[in-house]
Amino acid sequence: MDDVNRLTQALPGSSDAVWIGLRKSWVWSSGEAVSNYSHWKPYNPNEGNAEASCAVLTTAGWQDWYCSNTYYFVCFDDTATSNERYVLVTSVVTWIEAQTYCTQTYTDLVNFQSSDEEQQVLKLLSEMNVSKAWIGLISSQWSDHAFTTFRYWAPGQPREGSLDSGCATTTIANSGMWTYSDCAHKIPFICYGSKCL
């Protein structure tokens, strides 16, 4: 939970989000299963909305969004030191574009094994005045196929019927809890890495 608190502090106080590496069926974009740790925002993921299949990180938790939306994103670089592993990219892109960028430039979209890790990312978002970004959660799996028991779904997330598509986001408004989003929505994203773009 310490990771979640640090990440939430990093996000600015708006309702915007950043992509995280979680997508429908809710796996991380790396292919790893979501651990016991989840941080879904209340009423997320919306199982009744099969279109919202990517996740963003907000201060209130993870939220499912349309993958075609555009947001910032956070990449992960597993070759960097622990303080330089997360890279916030402030170009607004879809979840697929964010994941492609992170895997080509760093390691993958960010995934969370603990609340401490999530709090680090939320702190980064706050420092950069970004409130929502893509993360590597997709269809209940992390984009890098990492296995983790860490879950931080917002209450009501993931929603029944929404497990076949969608990406995860995290937003400041929900204390960093995870929610579904359309994977095509263009928002910032978070990569693992050593610099902010």
- Residue-wise DSSP of 129-148: T--B-EEEEETTEEET----
Query: What is the reported pLDDT for 180?
Result: 77
Question: Which residue, 61, 39, 27, is CA-closest to 144?
Answer: 27
Angle at 6 between CA 26 and CA 124, to 5 degrees: 85
**Contact status, residue 62 vs residue 175, Cβ threshold 8 Å:** no
Q: Of 141-145, 160-164, 191-195, which one has max mean pLDDT?
A: 141-145
Instruction: Give the tens place of pLDDT for each residue, 154-176.
Output: 887 876 655 445 778 887 777 78
Residue ranges in the chain assigned as alpha helix (H): 2-10, 95-105, 115-127
Contacts of 60 (CB under 8 A, 6+ apart): 41, 42, 154, 171, 172, 173, 174, 175, 176, 177, 179
Instruction: Give the tens place of pLDDT for each residue, 25-75.
Output: 677 777 777 777 788 888 888 766 667 778 888 888 888 888 888 888 888
Residue with tokens 């050593």: 194
Query: What is the reported pLDDT for 106?
Result: 85
Percent of the chain topping pLDDT 70: 73
Helix axes 115-127, 2-10, angle to 10 degrees: 10
Q: Which residues are bridge partners to 88 per DSSP?
A: 74, 190
Query: What is the reported pLDDT for 85?
Result: 81
Question: Which residue, 154, 144, 133, 85, is CA-closest to 111?
Answer: 144
